[in-house]
A = this chain, B = another copy of it.
Amino acid sequence: MKKILLQLEADPQASVFDQITAYDAGADQVLAYGGVTADEVANLVYGAMFTRGGDNLRNTAIFVGGARVAPAETIMQQVLATFFGPVRVSVMFDANGCNTTAAALVRKVAGGGALAGKKALVLGGTGPVGVRVASLLAREGCQVALSSRQFLRAQEVCHRLGADAAIQVKPLQVAGATEAAVALGQGVNIVACCGAPGVRLLEQAAWSACPFLEVAADINAVEPLGLEGIKVSDDGRERQGKKVFGAIAIGNLKMKIHRAAVQALFAANDRVLDLEAVYSLAKTLEN
Chain A positions within 8 Å of B, measured between CB atoms, are 1-2, 4, 6, 12-13, 15-21, 23-24, 29, 31-33, 36, 40, 43-48, 50-52, 60, 67, 251, 255
The reply to whether B48 and A16 contact each other, CB–CB distance below 8 Å, is yes
Please give, as numbers and ranges, the residues of chain B lying within 8 Å of A16 by CB-CB distance.
Answer: 6, 31, 43-48, 51
The reply to whether A13 and B33 contact each other, CB–CB distance below 8 Å, is yes
The reply to whether A24 and B51 contact each other, CB–CB distance below 8 Å, is yes
Q: Give the number of times this chain occurs in the complex, counting copies.
A: 3
Q: Smallest CB–CB gap between A172 and chain B, Å? A: 32
Please give, as numbers and ranges, the residues of chain B lying within 8 Å of A20 by CB-CB distance.
Answer: 4, 31, 47-48, 51-52, 60
Q: CA separation between A43 and B6, bound complex, in Å?
A: 21
Q: CA separation between A36 and B47, bound complex, in Å?
A: 20
The reply to whether B40 and A12 contact each other, CB–CB distance below 8 Å, is yes
Known contacts A12-B40, A13-B40, A44-B13; A52/B32 CB under 8 A:
no
Known contacts A24-B1, A24-B51, A43-B67; A31/B19 CB under 8 A:
yes
Q: CA separation between A32 and B13, bound complex, in Å?
A: 10
Q: Smallest CB–CB gap between A27 and chain B, Å? A: 10
A–B Cβ pairs within 8 angstroms, 23 of them: A4-B23, A12-B40, A13-B43, A15-B47, A16-B44, A16-B46, A16-B47, A16-B48, A17-B46, A18-B47, A19-B31, A19-B47, A20-B31, A20-B47, A20-B48, A20-B51, A23-B29, A24-B51, A24-B52, A31-B32, A43-B67, A50-B251, A51-B255
Please give, as numbers and ranges, the residues of chain B lying within 8 Å of A51 by CB-CB distance.
Answer: 16-17, 20-21, 24, 255
Q: CA separation between A242 and B269, bound complex, in Å?
A: 37
Please give, as numbers and ranges, the residues of chain B lying within 8 Å of A46 by CB-CB distance.
Answer: 16-17
